[in-house]
A and B are shown apart, each in its own frame.
Chain A
């Protein structure tokens, strides 16, 4: 069996499944005479998307930029914090319960606090998306670092390696697969954070557009916003997924070799 062919076929099938989904949606709406106020037809949504694009585009960019800013800040903060926690057993044991505690706070709850501190707008949105994307990165990086083989550390310490050498040559490369796995989660979460904050406390962004449209009973526009969010989300996920397979190919090949 040719694996590239089967992969091509799989992709083709997913594509047809997607098209089928919209087709059934469209047909069901027409057959059952569903009101546009409840569930607009996909064709209507596309029309709204095209017509309102000049208005929607700046908001799309706003949401994208906010998400990326929050994501990058979150990843950097998460990386530093993860390195700190993962670098010693003691730090790991002390910080881990705290981390679990903080990460279980619903992040919607922090938006009002950010609004109090920074006013409504872009800043709380960036912060929310940062806060929400920190945790998977911290946890994964810390775990990756903490799982370095003690024997290997001995081999390097005998050579006169400093803590920094071990971190750079062994710890961080070993952590890469964990880091990239967490990036996929973090980018999706950052997106959630942005839209959340935009919906609650902003005058820009797709979240805000959807909020206003729903107030005006412009349901087609709400769905158009949802559609844009879906496309952005999938694109960002795909990019980080691609990056992951590029950077950490050795883990995947390893599992193949073990089979």
Chain B
């Protein structure tokens, strides 16, 4: 009940407050990170590799617990409840389709698992689910491929199917970890348009981790730049280009300027971390030599 009352206040859907994550080996992946994401935003997380971008996704997904700080999704502490209350879709660079199932069955897989669908999966509703899967496949340009097996499809097609699988249970939150990273440039650009169309149709909240700055500028409504490990958000830029964005618009000067600015910011972050590392090393040596750092 209390949850409903707090829901009246306009609170962000996802709230990370002063979150730190330290892995078992002592590596600090995230350092007091704050991030607020509103319902329906398309966030791109960019930054040097190993800066904790994927860690943020895992925190929001509840696959990982924060060492310090709080992760609140939809007004609820993540990880406090054993089972997932929010509907979340997840897609990775590796499409991980199950080779023994048809593409359609792969796409329908979440319905076998997520409540409340799973109780209907074996009953009459299966036909309805099948139609839903077909409709999604058609939306991403895979009409007529439902009966094919994963090995009969190209990498780009598999990634489209993987997006369908992430969306079939109509999640509020879509988490994408470099989903287009393994594709060639042309296929990747095609998939940007597919992704944009999917987002504009249903307006889920999307959190996209990417190394491709053009991709972030093309898709996102907000870009968060992260520093090197331990990661923090060092820049938070809204992207106001008109939608639908097209390849043509991605060659406009303001688009280029944004990508350029992002590129420079990340170069800076990398340089900073190099000096930091060097001073850390110096401190370690000082400790070893018996001096107080």
Question: Which A residues are within 8 Å of any B CB, using their own CB?
Answer: 149, 151-152, 154-161, 165, 169-170, 173-174, 176, 248, 250-251, 253-254, 257-258
- Contact between chains at A160 and B99 (CB < 8 Å): no
B83 at the interface (CB under 8 A from A): yes
Chain A residues lying within 8 Å of B84, measured Cβ to Cβ, are 158-160
List 18 other contacts, CB 8 Å, given A157-B63, A257-B151: A151-B94, A154-B90, A155-B90, A155-B92, A155-B96, A158-B89, A158-B90, A158-B175, A159-B84, A160-B83, A160-B84, A160-B113, A160-B114, A165-B112, A169-B113, A253-B151, A257-B152, A258-B151
B265 at the interface (CB under 8 A from A): no
Chain B residues lying within 8 Å of A165, measured Cβ to Cβ, are 112-113
Q: What total of chain B residues lie within 8 Å of the partner, measured CB to CB?
A: 29
Question: Which B residues are within 8 Å of any A CB, using their own CB?
Answer: 58, 61-63, 83-84, 88-92, 94, 96, 98-100, 109-110, 112-115, 149, 151-152, 165-166, 169, 175
A140 CB to nearest B CB, Å? 17
- Contact between chains at A161 and B100 (CB < 8 Å): no
- Contact between chains at B151 and A169 (CB < 8 Å): no
- Contact between chains at B113 and A156 (CB < 8 Å): yes
B156 CB to nearest A CB, Å? 16
- Distance A219 CA – B61 CA, assembled complex (angstroms): 72
Q: DSSP majority for the A interface?
A: helix
Can you list 5 A-B contacts with CB-CB less than 8 angstroms, sorted by A residue number? Answer: A154-B90, A155-B166, A160-B83, A165-B113, A250-B149
Query: Of all chain B residues, which has the CB nearest A157?
Result: B63
Known: A151-B92, A169-B109, A257-B152. A159 touches B99 (CB 8 A): no
- Distance A157 CA – B110 CA, assembled complex (angstroms): 10
- Distance A176 CA – B62 CA, assembled complex (angstroms): 30
Chain A residues lying within 8 Å of B94, measured Cβ to Cβ, are 149, 151
Chain B residues lying within 8 Å of A251, measured Cβ to Cβ, are 99
- Contact between chains at B113 and A161 (CB < 8 Å): yes
Known: A152-B96, A173-B98. A158 touches B62 (CB 8 A): yes
Chain B residues lying within 8 Å of A174, measured Cβ to Cβ, are 98
- Distance A155 CA – B58 CA, assembled complex (angstroms): 11
